[in-house]
Amino acid sequence: MATKMIRDVIVETIDAEMARDPDVIMLGEDIVGGNGSAGGPEAIGGIWSTSTGLWAKYGPDRVIDTPISESAIIGAAAGASLSGKRAIAEIMFADFIGVCLDQIWNQVAKFRYMFGGKSRCPVTIRMIYGAGFNAAAQHSQAIHGMVTAMPGLKVVMPATPADAKGLLTAAIRDDDPVIFLEHKALYATKGDVPEGEYVLPFGHARQVTQGDDVTILATGLMVSFAEAAARNLAEEGIGCDLIDLRTTSPLDEEAILDSVERTGRLLIVDESPPRCGLATDLAALVASKAFASLRAPVEMVTGPHSPIPFARELEAAWLPSRDKIEAAALRLMSYRG
């Protein structure tokens, strides 16, 4: 074990997979940076520092700096992967899915199905998402709800450095398309990371805290918010069973249902607006498969139905928070039906 930041884990994992498999290539805007400028290549090394040094090591045929052309990035990654490569595409801000959605939704996700199961498209689409940087309405969104709803995609949301390693390794080695969502506010998060080969299978949630009173489901940045709330709640004698879903598709239904059957109370924290999202989806799952276990109405802590605002006060008010999670847990505990 070594203590590392998520951003460094991302570079090291891509590096390890590129060294292991010569078919692995990487494409994105400014993942090299500086090409065509006085500063020269690697003047930037990726704006998130998640590709630093890879161009120098693997060269321009494998670490491919692209123009600002998201449709072409995803399309090229898909076409390369259909024809034998294993591409990692980076979308600098997940919000830019708006200008490459066709390539993700109508192309990548559907090839294997439409083509009778006889093609494979091992592409990993890394998208940097999430609020907390006052980046306003077009650079702050979480898009997991949209992609989780699309058949043919796997969706991964790591919350810790160790999970980032194990899940990104699995994503790159997967023969099917994977949407790998990296929260920008988690890049500097440190944690212990196993050395050497470390692969985490999809569809297995992580138990963060254990408790018998309230089940809390969260992903990405929301896991740390919920963990802080769970610590406070524990001091008040409320035990939280906090589950980090890790992947929203496939979904670890068993872990969710087992927990709710034990606690009888469900709280879902989702960094999204409230409608037609992960929170409503999980609430529906529990309502249909564990209804008899519920002792209180499901609580959902989400953003409001608005774009994400800019000002510090406004963005903070938009996001789910530790306080909102605690308040929701207390409502669950005090509910008398």
Q: Which residues are catalytic?
A: 139
Q: Name the amino acid, one letter, at 43.
A: A
For residues 237 and 211, the answer to whether their CB atoms sit within 8 Å is: no
Q: Which is nearer to other proteins, 77 or 208 (CB)?
A: 77
- Judged by phi (left if over 0) then psi (alpha if -120 to 50, else beta), residue 89 lies in beta
Structural tokens at position 281: 């989806």
For the bound state, the minimum distance from the C-beta of residue 70 to other proteins, rounded and expressed in Å, comes to: 8
Collapsing DSSP states into helix, strand and coil, what is residue 20?
helix
Q: Which is nearer to other proteins, 87 or 301 (CB)?
A: 87
Measured distance CA(97)–CA(134) in Å, rounded: 19
Closest CA to 171 of 127, 202, 205: 202
For the bound state, the minimum distance from the C-beta of residue 61 to other proteins, rounded and expressed in Å, comes to: 7
For the bound state, the minimum distance from the C-beta of residue 25 to other proteins, rounded and expressed in Å, comes to: 7
Polymer length of the chain: 337
For the bound state, the minimum distance from the C-beta of residue 68 to other proteins, rounded and expressed in Å, comes to: 9
Q: Which is nearer to other proteins, 3 or 288 (CB)?
A: 288
Q: Which is nearer to other proteins, 78 or 230 (CB)?
A: 78
Only one residue has tokens 């400014």, namely 30
What does the angle CA 181 – CA 183 – CA 187 come to, to the nearest 5 degrees? 120
For the bound state, the minimum distance from the C-beta of residue 262 to other proteins, rounded and expressed in Å, comes to: 23
DSSP 150-174: STT-EEE---SHHHHHHHHHHHHH-
In sequence order, the β-bridge partners of residue 91 are 127
Q: Which is nearer to other proteins, 82 or 298 (CB)?
A: 82
Binding site for other proteins (CB under 8 A): 25, 61, 64, 66-67, 69, 71-72, 74-85, 87, 102-103, 106-107, 110-119, 151-154, 176, 203, 249-251
Q: How many CB atoms lie within 10 A of CB 324?
A: 17
